[in-house]
């Protein structure tokens, strides 16, 4: 897993308490607490969930202050955790997807996250019901018009700095900035204000996988107390807010949440990741007008200069009626150029080979080639993008496999002739199963399966200081 975020942060001597001991409730106590939490959620009218790094450790993302956390290992002079897969390929956990189901059911009203991994958005939590207090490593924002851009690659900077891209709004065009805060950055009002609002009216704030050491973020759950709300903390380590909580659960977050969902008789939905790429076919007459020069490019939908992190190579071949040589494009940008006569028609076959972290190996696509003179300057085919995406999700789950693809956008330009086709492709599928079994001593054990086809103290006004 990429540790770029931790490495990009400015240096600070004191990052708070690290290496904290972990505690585990006995299985029968854990089960009683799970059932109590399920009843509290069932009765709640305004549930808010507050999440920390502990909900993403099962995704392969290390935490910061645990026994093997980033800050803990750094202080001990040890090597940082090794990457288990590229950061941009991390998939939401069982907990992430359970929260999605609770939101869809109308039970969960708002999510407040201290994480920068972007997994809440990827899981399907609506943006308007999410505050990412410390930013998102995969999000860029336009400081002029406020537009947000969720990327499939990790943005190269942190600290609200300008990136190499511009706002795609034709009326704007301002330089974009990253959204991840550095130590000296204040919490943005866009994130902290709705978080405060929802905590004040919450009757239950559920804190998952957080040591509650970062201020002012760690004080947000306490705002529900004045209105009679309750706090539940699920974390392996003790926290400074435990005395304020009605229930403190020491156990793995996934295990606790799986138990709650089972008690509530609610299913945890599968996670289907869909990535987008575009194929651009440009055609032009040669100077003597005897040939058609054409260029085919497989590119990111985030701009021609952006990398495609989930594609490793592209194999190009042609239909039998043509004698073009096959090609393997193994370096980005993925571009192939050829020349043909004006009357020739043939098919271009592309085998898109996916990179590490994708469950499927490849997808095959056919591009018909035919030179035509259009009478329209610009044409755009009407496609119901959401319907295509939903169909791909349903098919992936039904077939228990990935690799399915579909066209979600098609644009034509007549002069110079260009056709752009945007494809959506299923690159990852993960389903979740929970089973409860009784041990010989009467205790309960949860068996959880996730299957696929393959802290800081932050000041709202400025400088952040770790808690003593």
Cα–Cα distance for residue pair 454/53, rounded to 1 Å: 25
- Give residues with Cβ within 8 angstroms of 343, minimum separation 6: none
pLDDT > 90 fraction of the chain, expressed in percent and rounded: 67
**CA 378, 334, 390, 394 torsion-angle sign:** positive
Same domain for 66 and 189? Answer: yes
Q: Are 163 and 180 in contact (CB under 8 A)?
A: no
pLDDT digits (tens, 9 = 90+) for 260-301: 999 999 999 999 999 999 999 999 888 888 888 999 999 999
Residue of 96, 134, 250, 302 with catalytic role: 134
Same domain for 252 and 303? Answer: no
Q: Which of 428, 447, 463 is the last residue of a domain?
A: 428
| 156 within some domain | no
Cα–Cα distance for residue pair 341/285, rounded to 1 Å: 9
How many domains does the chain fold into? 2
- Would residue 134 show up in a list of annotated catalytic residues for this protein? yes
- Give residues with Cβ within 8 angstroms of 137, minimum separation 6: 4, 5, 87, 116, 117, 118, 154, 155, 158, 180
Question: What pLDDT does residue 86 have?
Answer: 80
Q: At 307, which CATH number?
A: 2.60.40
Same domain for 246 and 285? Answer: no
Q: Which of 245, 267, 289 is the last residue of a domain?
A: 267
Q: For residue 415, what is the enclosing H or E element?
A: none
Among 35, 17, 15, CA closest to 25: 35
Q: Are 356 and 348 in contact (CB under 8 A)?
A: no
167 is in an annotated binding site: yes
Same domain for 363 and 416? Answer: yes
The confidence band for 61, taking pLDDT boundaries of 50, 70 and 90, is confident
pTM exceeding the 0.85 threshold for the entire prediction: yes
pLDDT digits (tens, 9 = 90+) for 359-413: 999 999 999 988 765 555 567 788 999 999 999 999 999 999 999 999 999 999 8
172 is in an annotated binding site: yes
pLDDT digits (tens, 9 = 90+) for 400-433: 999 999 999 999 987 778 999 999 999 999 999 7
Residue 447, strand partner residues: 435
| 107 within some domain | yes
Same domain for 359 and 247? Answer: no
**CA 289, 291, 292, 296 torsion-angle sign:** negative
Same domain for 313 and 219? Answer: no
Same domain for 35 and 83? Answer: yes
| 460 within some domain | no
Same domain for 245 and 281? Answer: no
Structural domain of 411: 270-372+379-428
Cα 45 to chain centroid, rounded: 28
Q: At 259, which CATH number?
A: 3.40.50.1220
Cα–Cα distance for residue pair 2/46, rounded to 1 Å: 35
């Amino acid at each position: 897993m990429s540790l770029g975020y931790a490495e990009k942060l400015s240096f600070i001597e004191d990052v708070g308490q690290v290496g904290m001991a972990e505690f585990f409730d006995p299985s029968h106590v854990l089960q009683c607490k799970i059932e109590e939490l399920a009843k509290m959620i069932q009765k709640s009218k305004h549930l808010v969930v507050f999440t920390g790094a502990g909900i993403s450790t099962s995704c392969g993302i290390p935490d910061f202050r645990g026994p093997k956390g980033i800050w803990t290992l750094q202080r001990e002079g040890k090597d940082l955790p090794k990457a288990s897969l590229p950061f941009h390929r991390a998939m939401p956990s069982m907990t992430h997807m359970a929260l999605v189901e609770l939101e869809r059911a109308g039970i969960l009203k708002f999510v407040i996250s201290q994480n920068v991994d972007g997994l809440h958005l990827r899981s399907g939590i609506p943006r308007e019901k999410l505050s990412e207090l410390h930013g998102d490593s995969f999000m860029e924002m336009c400081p002029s018009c406020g537009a947000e851009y969720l990327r499939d690659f990790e943005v190269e900077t942190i600290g609200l700095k300008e990136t190499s891209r511009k706002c795609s709004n034709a009326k704007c065009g301002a330089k974009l900035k990253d959204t991840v805060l550095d130590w000296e950055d204040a919490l943005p009002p866009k994130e902290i204000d709705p978080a405060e609002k929802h905590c004040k009216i919450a009757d239950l704030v559920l804190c998952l996988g957080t040591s509650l050491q970062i201020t002012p973020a760690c004080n947000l759950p306490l705002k529900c107390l004045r209105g009679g709300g309750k706090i539940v903390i699920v974390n392996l380590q003790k926290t400074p807010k435990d005395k304020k909580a009605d229930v403190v659960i020491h156990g793995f977050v996934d295990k606790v949440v799986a138990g709650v969902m089972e008690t509530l008789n609610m299913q945890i939905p599968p996670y289907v990741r869909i990535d987008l790429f575009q194929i651009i076919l440009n055609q032009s007459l040669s100077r003597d007008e005897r040939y058609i020069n054409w260029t085919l490019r497989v590119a990111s939908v985030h701009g021609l200069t952006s990398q495609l992190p989930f594609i490793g190579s592209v194999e190009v071949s042609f239909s039998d009626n043509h004698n073009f040589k096959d090609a393997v494009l193994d370096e980005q940008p993925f571009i192939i150029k050829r020349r043909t006569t004006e009357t020739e028609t043939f098919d271009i076959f592309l085998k898109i080979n996916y990179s590490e972290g994708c469950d499927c190996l490849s997808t095959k696509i056919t591009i018909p080639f035919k030179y035509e003179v259009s009478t329209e300057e610009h044409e755009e085919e009407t496609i119901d993008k959401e319907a295509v995406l939903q169909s791909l999700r349903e098919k992936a789950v039904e077939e228990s496999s990935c690799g399915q693809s579909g066209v979600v956008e098609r644009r034509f330009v007549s002069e110079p002739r260009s056709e752009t086709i945007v494809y959506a492709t299923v690159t990852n599928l993960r389903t979740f199963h929970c089973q409860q079994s009784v041990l010989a001593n009467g205790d309960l054990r949860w068996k959880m399966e996730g299957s696929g086809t393959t802290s800081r103290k932050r000041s709202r006004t400025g400088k952040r200081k770790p808690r003593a």
